[in-house]
Amino acid sequence: MLPTDPPGSPRPSRAKQLAKAAARLAALAAVSPVLLGYVLNSALVGRNRALEGASQLLSMLPGVTGQYLRRAFLGRVLAGFHHTATVEFGTLFSQTGAVLGENVYVGPRCGLGLVRLERDVLLGPGVQIPSGGKTHAFDDPDRPIREQGGERTVVTVGAGAWVGTGAIVMADVGRGTVVAAGAVVTRPLPDNVVAAGVPARVIRHRFEKPAGDG
């Protein structure tokens, strides 16, 4: 199977377009048993639980073949999934309300909840984006945390943002913003900044030269 061309690459030839279309059809045929299992499991345990199981299975498939199979499946079960989005090996999904836009790249071993990744977003390996920062309540000292419920909210990563390896994102990230590796985002970040640390804070504007340069 052929990989998706990177953004900005020359327009593919007619033959290459046809080859990609054939690859997408082949991937859909190959993944149809998983889709059927998802439909049946959804009736028993709900769509989100069914998605968890299916994404665990498909996450184990490496290489370009795995990319195509995940694309065929996720494009039919998530709230939004552009056909140019790429999801790498080991990435797990837990919420069918997730949206992945055009040319989104999700690196290996990420964990995604109720997210909205706008066009051209890049996620490095091991990025975790749960469904907001309040998925578990813990205010009642007399009840186990697992019994206290929680609140899921959509976390949006703006167009063109880049989230580095191992970052944890629990609040919105602005368009074009860079989140450093290992950062923990607990509050919304504006557009076109560089943020780092635990908790993450803005260290400079993206287009501002770092101190000491020049």
Residue 135: alpha-carbon gap to chain centroid:
18
State the Cα–Cα distance between residues 31 and 69, nearest whole angstrom.
6
Q: CA nearest 91: which of 108, 66, 73, 105? A: 108
Bridge partners of 157? 117, 173
**136 noted as active-site residue:** yes
Torsion sign across C-alpha atoms 44, 47, 49, 55 = positive
For residue 209, the one-letter residue type is: K
Q: Give the tokens for residue 6.
A: 């990177």
Which among 82, 83, 136, 205 is annotated as catalytic? 136
SS3 (DSSP) at 108:
coil
SS3 (DSSP) at 139:
coil
- φ/ψ of 63, rounded to 5, equals 70, -165
State the Cα–Cα distance between residues 208 and 206, nearest whole angstrom.
6
In terms of phi and psi (left: phi > 0; alpha: psi -120 to 50; beta: otherwise), the region of 99 is beta
State the Cα–Cα distance between residues 151 and 23, nearest whole angstrom.
39
Residues labelled as active-site residues: 136
